[in-house]
A = this chain, B = another copy of it.
Amino acid sequence: MNDARRYHDLPSPFAMKRGGQLHAARVAYETWGQLDTDAGNAVLILTGLSPSAHAAANADDPSAGWWEGMVGPGKAIDTDRWFVICVNSLGSDKGSTCPASIDPATGEPYRLSFPELSLEDVAQAAHSVVTALGIGQLACLIGCSMGGMSALAYMLLHPGSVRTHISVDTAPQAQPFAIAIRSLQREAIRLDPQWQEGRYSDDAYPEMGMSIARKLGVITYRSAMEWNGRFARIRLNPEQRDDDPFGLEFEVESYLEGHARRFVHTFDPNSYLYLSRASDWFDVSEYGNGSIREGLKRIHVERAMVIGVSTDILFPLEQQEQIAEGLEAAGAQVDFVALDSPQGHDAFLVDIDNYSRAIGGFLSSLQA
């Protein structure tokens, strides 16, 4: 198999954790590199809330991917050695079945009739792709941000399916600060009159709500420390300002506006709501009688690397420590990497040097 962009049909019906089922559902995925004949060199990447399966350029799509610096020949996730798969989360509108998809039962988009989505469902859909590719055990499962929680679900639901694990900037459960932020993002979308209980169109689209949600996201994905150095109190030039009496004045405001404009129409608002809520719901402690540690102890991998960053306010470093301790208690050999990157939660997308060193070092140390 060459580098490719593909779709995988999920078993139909596909039963969802919280009830409900999907018919004729599919997930988009992309691959890089060659699968060994014994299928022992597979690496699966599970993504954050909004990225697509396009982690890096490939033959079907030569544009740069969201983790271009990390995935490729000779890079940390070396596609000369590994067969790398990235799956677009079930429920995301980047090719997978999601609230914007047509419900075959009605011929209309699901919108809010899409069944309640959990990260366990995201994990099950990804596992279905891996199984269909003939891979019995992943050499490594990598999960970033929300994808790190999906990865924990994957390992809990499929014991023995993962040999090693890399956990990146994630958490075993959402803490109330993260829930509060995501709840407010969802509220901004839901209160937008154009949202119309999920029945928006391209012509009447909840731009306002999506813009506020995205800006709040960016504020919590980065760090105050980074911004002190990057923006300080620099003003826009007068010609860059608008006439609005409360319009953009500081560079940091313009930066957020740029992020929001690029995002608003590239992610389906209902998909955002479903994946955001799934992130709030996920909780490893459900697998351990209310104990995070006991839940994590049910995960059995040979080795793990757990990476976090001290400037992350959304998934604070103490939560990565919990994951590392739990996986170690379960018997894994665990490397815990605490970085001081200034970029906050998004450091895994920006501080490629440090993340490459950690992830590349871990993967290259794995026995064939």
Q: Is A24's CB within 8 Å of the partner chain B? A: no
A280 cross-chain contacts in B, Cβ below 8 A: 249-250
Q: Is the CB of B215 within 8 A of A187?
A: yes
A228 cross-chain contacts in B, Cβ below 8 A: 175-177
Q: How far is the CA of A180 from the CA of B220 in the complex (A)?
A: 11
Q: How far is the CA of A112 from the CA of B253 in the complex (A)?
A: 21
Q: Is A306's CB within 8 Å of the partner chain B? A: no
Q: How far is the CA of A186 from the CA of B246 in the complex (A)?
A: 8
Q: Is the CB of B179 within 8 A of A219?
A: no
Known interface pairs A173-B233, A212-B187; A253-B179 also in contact (CB < 8 Å): yes
Cβ-closest chain B residue relative to A173: B233
Q: Is the CB of A208 within 8 A of B233?
A: no
Known interface pairs A112-B245, A246-B273; A233-B180 also in contact (CB < 8 Å): no
Q: Is the CB of A233 within 8 A of B191?
A: no
Q: Is the CB of B253 within 8 A of A180?
A: yes
Q: How far is the CB of A22 from chain B (nearest CB, A)?
A: 17
Q: Is A184's CB within 8 Å of the partner chain B? A: yes
Q: How far is the CB of A201 from chain B (nearest CB, A)?
A: 18
Picked from B174, B211, B227, B273, the residue with its CB within 8 Å of the CB of A176 is B227
Q: Is the CB of A176 within 8 A of B224?
A: yes
Picked from B176, B184, B251, B253, the residue with its CB within 8 Å of the CB of A212 is B184
Q: How far is the CB of A182 from chain B (nearest CB, A)?
A: 10
A252 cross-chain contacts in B, Cβ below 8 A: 176, 179-180, 183
Picked from B180, B187, B224, B246, the residue with its CB within 8 Å of the CB of A175 is B224
Interface string of A229-240 (1 = CB under 8 A from B): 011110000000
Q: How many copies does the complex hold?
A: 2
A339 cross-chain contacts in B, Cβ below 8 A: none
Known interface pairs A280-B250, A316-B224; A191-B175 also in contact (CB < 8 Å): no
Q: How far is the CB of A98 from chain B (nearest CB, A)?
A: 16
Q: Is the CB of B250 within 8 A of A183?
A: yes
Q: How far is the CA of A183 from the CA of B112 in the complex (A)?
A: 31
Cβ-closest chain B residue relative to A174: B233
A188 cross-chain contacts in B, Cβ below 8 A: 188, 212
Highest count of chain B CB atoms <10 Å: which of A181, A183, A232: A183
Q: How far is the CB of A346 from chain B (nearest CB, A)?
A: 14
Q: Is the CB of A250 within 8 A of B187?
A: no
A174 cross-chain contacts in B, Cβ below 8 A: 233
Q: How far is the CA of A212 from the CA of B251 in the complex (A)?
A: 23
Q: Is A329's CB within 8 Å of the partner chain B? A: no
Q: Closest 8 interchain pairs by CB?
A: A177-B224, A176-B227, A176-B252, A176-B231, A191-B208, A183-B253, A180-B252, A180-B219
29 A-B residue pairs with Cβ-Cβ distance under 8 Å, sorted by A, are A173-B233, A175-B228, A175-B232, A175-B233, A176-B227, A176-B230, A176-B231, A176-B232, A176-B233, A176-B250, A177-B219, A177-B224, A177-B228, A179-B250, A179-B253, A180-B227, A180-B256, A183-B252, A184-B256, A187-B212, A187-B215, A188-B212, A191-B208, A193-B193, A212-B212, A224-B313, A246-B273, A246-B277, A249-B280
With A175-B233, A191-B211, A249-B280 given, name 20 new contacts (CB 8 A).
A175-B228, A175-B232, A176-B228, A176-B230, A176-B232, A180-B219, A180-B227, A180-B252, A180-B256, A184-B212, A184-B219, A184-B256, A187-B212, A187-B215, A190-B246, A224-B316, A233-B283, A246-B273, A246-B277, A250-B280
